[in-house]
Amino acid sequence: MIKSLRFPVSSVIQTRHALLERGRKGRVSVPVRYGVIEHETEGVILVDTGYTRHLRAMRGPLASLYRMLLSPRIREELEPVPYLRSIGVDPAGVRHVLVTHLHPDHVSGLADFPNATIHLTQGSEELWKAPPRLLDASHGLFRSLLPDIGILRIERIERKKVFEPVDVFGRSGHDLFGDGTVMAVSLPGHMPGHMGILLRMGGRRILYAVDVSWTKAGYRLNQLPPFPLRNVVQDKVQAGLSSALVSAFEMSGGEVVLCHDPEPTEWDVA
């Protein structure tokens, strides 16, 4: 059972609103969220890690350009380690990190949780294990942020119990802890292995759809963001299908949270 849910905002990116949605004017603050789930039997579960101070040491082709273009304002007090300590949780005791995909704003704090089991999809695991490729950085994959996968405890979500098509997804997912409250659902398109996390909490259905879209208007209208953000989406056909699934889930009464939606949520810690 889920006891509480929070989405700390580890950093904020200031950018033109038109980069997220066509026709929008002015500038907008884009959050970078990660999830903190307090589970009755599993303790604190992280969903990704957001940006952390490790981003400053990121190496590889295009690393400096990436930092310069995005210029995230990292809020060190809301990085996972200091934030967990501030709420009385020992970071060394975190047993589970759910990695939705491998972009820097989701994995830059993984090195701080060497004792945790890393839960991820087969697609993410295969990408992590693959030999470095020249185009990795152009697809947002910076391997210097990823710990040595050989020394981590890896749990592929596909090995977990399958639950039947849930709500309006029309596809099966995986019950991560056996009680039906934290479930992984494939939402392909954004990056190989991209997944969402479906939570059942107090009679509510909450889907953390991560980077299916940067804004809710994006999936509701099934529109990719304008250039250059649209180039980040690696499989545009699959991304459209995932957006349609998320929109249908919301129309059925489910609640949706995105990593970068500028609109605040009731679970944000900012």
Residue 124 has pLDDT above 80, yes or no: yes
Decide: 142 and 66 in contact? Cβ < 8 Å: yes
Q: What is the pLDDT of residues 126-142, one digit of tens each?
A: 999 999 998 899 889 99
Q: What is the pTM of this model?
A: 0.96
Decide: 205 and 254 in contact? Cβ < 8 Å: yes
Helical residues (DSSP H) of the chain, grouped into ranges: 63-70, 80-86, 104-107, 122-129, 216-220, 236-251
Which uninterrupted H or E stretch holds 25?
Answer: none
Which uninterrupted H or E stretch holds 208?
Answer: strand 204-210
Q: State both tokens at 157.
A: 């979500």
Q: 41, 38, 35: which is closest to 9 by C-alpha?
A: 35
Decide: 230 and 224 in contact? Cβ < 8 Å: yes
Q: What is the pLDDT of residues 230-248, one digit of tens each?
A: 999 999 999 999 999 999 9
State the amino acid at position 168 in one-letter form: V
The pLDDT of residue 227: 86
Which region among 2-6, 137-141, 196-200 has the lowest average model confidence (pLDDT)? 137-141
Residue 183 has pLDDT above 90, yes or no: yes
